[in-house]
Amino acid sequence: MKRLRTSSWFGVVGLCVVVAAAAGACAAGGGGGGNGGDGAGGAGAAGGMGGSGNNGQGGDGNILITTSNSSSGSGGAGGGSLCDEGLPDADNDGDGFTELEGDCNDCDKFVNPSAVEVIAEPDEMGNLPEPADEDCDGTVDVLPPACDSGLALASMDPVDAAKAIGVCKFLKSAKWVLSDGSPPPVDEVKAASFHLGHGIVPKLGTNNNPQEGSSMLLLSSGKARDKGDPDATYRNFEKGYTSNPPFGFPKTSPSCPDKLAGLPNDATGVELELTVPTNALSVSFDFQFFSYEWPDWLCTEYNDFFIAYMIPFPMGQGDGNIAFDMFGAPISVNNKFFEACGCPNNPPNECIASTFPFKCALGKSPLLGTMFEKDDANLGWTHGSTGWLRTTTAVTPGGAPIRLRLVIYDSTDGKLDSSVLVDNWRWSGKPGTTVTEVIIPK
């Protein structure tokens, strides 16, 4: 739902001036003015027209302050705008911006250069709010352009990783990290291996295209490269380093309650620090997780994970992970979204992978042309992926900065790698809860 305009949600203006013996009144939400009697009626709040005094006329709907008439009383003023934008160098709505600093509506704290454009959508009743220029860029209901063109596959700049997923504004800092947020290895060989775990790609395989802009971020516990890219490696690329798990990990999956993953190996990640726009109530991003662990290595201590870790933790959560399936399982080969796969006689038959049945409802389409398209160890089998998913979580508008760590890692050893595509970062003026859902990709 689009945020209401100032005239829709402001409450009572606490301003009543009485300059006569008779008592004045301050009407709430544009109610009628005070009874004038034989003196002056009080000033009504903005909203509807003021009521008539006993011996005087109703207010004209524009005046917030009125003075005495010696005989006939004037009813309280109503109607009109609650807000006078005032001087151009004053921050009338308290949003941190004056008109001179680019605030195009200094009567609405949700409209300023640090807001995001909210595309007008029908509300629950089907009513379409009036479009507005929330970010004060001179356009109405036009999202800012993408910022991810021309980025290099092997860019070493973490800011480019942010751009690749669609973070064009509100970025305070970006850095490469391991699973626990610590810096990458300092050893030259291990550092080079770490940086092979991230890449910026225009597509992955035949059917995985950007969900916004022209690029996507690819993270991998092996090499973040597509088939045919320089340095592309199938299945196994061991980087030779370990790190601590994020707080709250390891954790079991409901599918494997007796299996706990080992120490993270070969982690590659990026951590973004972001300023929350003054009108943003939620944020979302899209991702797709791929793994060589399907079909032979489900429910083991070796399973790989993709974690999207937010600090501060979302309300009601014991840790910062915001990407999980409908049963709370983190993103791995063991979660319930893993439906892009294939085997002989599928369809119509299910694929039995490590004793677990898979319908492979998404088929092989997301895997075509990727390194995951064919399992060399099992004739007629593929490896697998989740298909495109979207994670959404709530944020506090204009509140303290948030940090989001996007990281992927092997567990226990560095064999049988996994990768993840991340794209389509979006701030939203709609409220949100922490949830991950299947989406129809572009």
Domain ranges of the chain: 92-144, 158-438
Question: Can you give the pLDDT at residue 117?
Answer: 85
- CB-CB contact of 417 with 372 (8 Å): no
Residue 356 tokens, joined: 């677990």
* Polymer length of the chain: 442
Strand residues in 178-263 grouped as ranges (E): 198-201, 216-220
By CB atoms closer than 10 A (0-12, 13-18, 19+), residue 261 is buried
- CB-CB contact of 178 with 264 (8 Å): yes
Task: Tell me the residue type at 231.
Answer: D
Along the 442 residues of the chain, how does pLDDT read in single tens digits? 344 333 333 333 333 333 333 333 333 344 444 444 444 444 444 444 444 444 444 444 333 333 333 344 444 444 444 566 678 888 888 888 999 999 899 898 889 998 988 877 777 788 887 888 888 989 888 888 999 999 999 999 999 999 999 999 999 999 999 999 999 999 999 999 999 999 999 999 999 999 999 999 999 999 999 999 989 999 999 999 999 999 999 998 999 999 999 999 999 999 999 999 999 999 999 999 999 999 999 999 999 999 999 999 999 899 999 999 999 999 999 999 999 999 999 999 999 999 999 999 999 999 999 999 999 999 999 999 999 999 999 999 988 899 999 999 999 999 999 999 999 999 998 899 999 999 999 9
Would you say the pTM of this structure is higher than 0.75? Answer: yes
Hey, how many other C-beta atoms are within 10 angstroms of the C-beta on 43? Answer: 29
Cα(160)–Cα(164) distance, rounded to whole angstroms? 6
The CA distances from residue 294 to 92, 152, 311, in Å, are: 58, 30, 31
SS3 content of the chain, % helix, strand, coil (to 5): 5, 20, 70
- CB-CB contact of 220 with 419 (8 Å): yes
Cα(441)–Cα(340) distance, rounded to whole angstroms? 13
Give residues with Cβ within 8 angstroms of 5, minimum separation 6: 108, 129, 130, 132
The CA distances from residue 42 to 54, 75, 186, in Å, are: 13, 7, 73
The CA distances from residue 434 to 81, 274, 313, in Å, are: 38, 18, 11
State yes or no: cis peptide before 347, omega within 30 of 0: yes
Cα(129)–Cα(142) distance, rounded to whole angstroms? 15
Closest C-alpha to 285, from 138, 404, 148: 404
- CB-CB contact of 219 with 195 (8 Å): no
